[in-house]
Amino acid sequence: MPVPGELTLVAPRRAKPPRHLADLAPAERRAAVEELGHKGFRAAQLSTHYFTHHSDDPTTWTDFPAKHREALAAALFPRLLTPVRDIECDAGTTRKTLWRLFDGALVESVLMRYPDRVTVCVSSQAGCGMNCPFCATGQAGLTRNMSTAEIVDQVVAASRALDRGEVAGGPGRVSNIVFMGMGEPLANYNATAAAVARLIDPTPDGLGLSRRSVTVSTVGLVPGIAKLTNSGLGVTLAVSLHAPDDELRDTLVPINTRYPVGEVVAAAHEYFVKTGRRVSIEYAMIRDINDQAWRADELARVLAFAGPGAWVHVNLIPLNPTPGSQWTASRSRDEKAFVRRLETAGVPVTVRDTRGREIDGACGQLAAADLLDPEEQLS
């Protein structure tokens, strides 16, 4: 486990996951299929099976000669995620899945079904190197980066479960993706950006999701925000700020010692200017730590300093309990006062629905190994 304040910005070296179709851009898939001795058009067929029908099972590929199916599946659809356990709440409409990766690393994803949408929260790293003291993932440290296909396969697995009616409410489709699971997405920028491309590319090249429906969250890696700004991906950016002043944020979000509040907010505002996408400011409400009314005033001042309030939306998150943390969620009266002060200053603000708290699936609660019994931990 990392010591307090310690950052891990470079992921430990581990064996790379095997190549998967989702790691490859469309032109690369065609080349890979041709290298395997098949006509290039077969790549589009494979993409249709995976991204449109959510199938990596060669027995369903009736448009392929039977004699070639198994070899193609072995070459381009290795097993990346093995489900260990599903835990549900909210009458089955919230499901957290623990996955074991090919090298034994553990990650989690969360599917949340609402009346008007289905959101999947995906992990981009096994563990996290940002070491925020109120986050269970950060306290566990960073195991490794995830590959593009490992990220995408979480979404395809959720889509497959919805296709089969395995989620309460019957068959459905994934509509929103949030990169708010385990890991700091912008610390694994290349895989994250490629995964986003697979999510938003039209079918059959990708999953065909709307850019607006994909949110990439960051604790404030300014160089990563700049890359995303110029990437042309145009997804929604969420910045986990959690404090408006550097003195407190240095403790709550240790990366602030490298990229202070002013730089982070300026980078976020530049994202809005370049993309036209309103930025979400994530703010965990922690009792008597960052929830004072004067801090709401300071947050409004910091955001207004970057530009008029229309560029940003503040998303307040009641702190979710994590093992060993001495902190707890704000009192209701303090939360309401914080909201009033922001609204008075003209800052758009909402309080996030805390789905999944009962199964440790809410923001900051994903810890993976804590779900395993001793025998599973040794397997």
The DSSP bridge pattern shows strands 125-127 and 94-100 to be unpaired
CA distance 227 to 144: 21
**Nearest 5°: phi and psi at 177?**
-125, 130
Q: What kind and span of H or E run contains 26?
A: helix 26-35
In the residue annotation, 363 being an active-site residue is answered as: yes
Q: List the beta strands (DSSP E) in the chain.
A: 82-89, 94-100, 106-114, 117-121, 125-127, 142-145, 176-179, 214-218, 236-240, 279-285, 312-318, 349-351
Reduced 3-state DSSP string for 44-84 = HHHHHHHHHCCCCCHHHCCCCCHHHHHHHHHHHCCCCCEEE
* Catalytic pick among 70, 263, 363, 375: 363
**Nearest 5°: phi and psi at 136?**
-65, -40
What is the token pair recorded at 365?
A: 């609660």
Q: Which of 51, 72, 85 is nearest to 156 (CA)?
A: 51
Q: What angle do CA 163, 164, 170 make, to 5 degrees?
A: 80
- What residues contact residue 180 under an 8 Å CB cut-off, 6+ apart? 121, 215, 217, 238, 363
Maximum Cα–Cα distance across the chain: 70
What is the token pair recorded at 250?
A: 């240095």
In the residue annotation, 166 being an active-site residue is answered as: no
Chain length of the chain: 379
CA 149 to chain centre: 14
* Catalytic pick among 88, 108, 150, 282: 108
What is the token pair recorded at 261?
A: 């509040």
Catalytic sites, residue numbers: 108, 363
